[in-house]
Amino acid sequence: MNEDFSKLLSPFQFPVSGIQVDNRIVMAPMTTFSGNEDGTVSDDELSYYKERNRGAGLLISACAYVTPQGKAFPGQFSAYSDDMLPSLKRLAAALKENGGKAVLQIHHGGRMCPPELVPGSEPLSASAVAPVREGAVTPREMTELEIEETIAAYGEAARRAVEAGFDGVEIHGANTYLIQQFFSPHSNRRTDKWGGSLEKRMTFPLAVVDAVKAAVKKASDRPFIIGYRISPEELENPGITMNDTLALAEVLSEKELDYLHVSTMNFFGASLRDAADATPRAQLIYDKVGHKLPVIGVGGVSTPQQADMVLGTGVQLVALGRELLIEPRWLEKLKNGQLDSIETALDVHNQSGLHIPTPMWNSLLTRTGWLPLKE
């Protein structure tokens, strides 16, 4: 009996921008560690993206830092100055050359930035609270001026994305980075307008959204996607709970965004805070706001059958991250009915064939258990 994957291959129109993609598959943003020292995109990264630009209808880049103080990874590329425009134009062109829609993810690492990567060797965050990890550095609490300048920097990065030819931006509010740090009661202990109550902890994320929207409205004379990535829960206590996230999602759903990208390691995994709560986090968010704000689900999806199950929850789009590292031709093979030839484990002897830059490749092979490997 032939399986029906027509839903995966059906078009989707984003509600605010009106931009349409040809299918429901999204390339998730994956850190490459492979940019040039000056913050520009490297030739190896462009080769990596060109190999995958047929892999999804919506293609989200690795995160680009919006200020020098926000650089969180060695080899991370940037969008913090107009000097980066030629680099960003090359990236947008590489992603779009086969008809997909290209989205630039914009980001600040906050307290997760290694001191050696940021000016003054001093990571910044909402409050002077170190992350819960071995050897973590305590950041300096941001001043009011630094907060305002950083919000403006997100807007400027969005303007550069418009000028570089991207079809959209994704605001990186997930994965323990700066925007999440302001939302989290663990990392935000402020008592001014930027912290305290749940509503006040939303102030910075919402200000970033407003700055990005205003910058895009001013800079763009064409439809342009604005999305937001969110992590639904934190393990820390105090930490972000599902109720916190549902409250934020409700407010974001009134902001006229095109999508909410729910970052999880396993789409069908249980709650981080309550193992007895097994409902997928993205499904809970969809049930709350999906009628107003489209949801992208991600995490541990390898096969078309799994991707179809994600859409079966109601979630409108499904992102592939690790799987598109392993199988850049995933979407083409699905379209051509070549399901048996879809790879689901990384061929450790095929770095050149997969066009994965060496720093990224080394990271993949040393991150135990993160990817299935084929020796």
Dump pLDDT digits (tens) for 173-187.
999 999 999 999 999
Among residues 177, 228, 259, 286, which one is catalytic?
Answer: 177
Q: Is the link from the previous residue into 11 a cis peptide, with omega within 30 of 0?
A: no
Length of the chain: 375
**Annotated catalytic residue 228:** no
3-state secondary structure of 365: helix
Helix axis angle for 242-252 and 281-289, nearest 10°, is 40
Structure tokens at 360: 């990224």
pLDDT at 1: 36
pTM for this prediction: 0.98
Give the integer Cα–Cα distance in Å for 45 and 297: 25
For residue 86, which of 130, 46, 134 has the smallest C-alpha distance?
A: 46
Q: Distance of CA 320 to CAs 29, 262, 304, 373, Å? A: 9, 12, 11, 17
Contact indicator for 62, 105 with CB cutoff of 8 Å? yes
Q: How confident is the model at residue 340 (pLDDT cuts 50, 70, 90)?
A: very high
Dump pLDDT digits (tens) for 305-330.
999 999 999 999 999 999 999 999 99
What are the structural domains of the chain? 12-374 (3.20.20.70)
Q: How confident is the model at residue 375 (pLDDT cuts 50, 70, 90)?
A: confident
Q: What is the 3-state secondary structure (H, E, C) of 353-364?
A: HHCCCHHHHHHH
Alpha helices in the chain (DSSP H): 43-52, 85-96, 144-164, 178-183, 198-201, 203-219, 242-252, 281-289, 304-312, 322-326, 330-335, 351-354, 358-366
Instruction: Give the pairing of strands 225-230 and 259-262.
Output: parallel
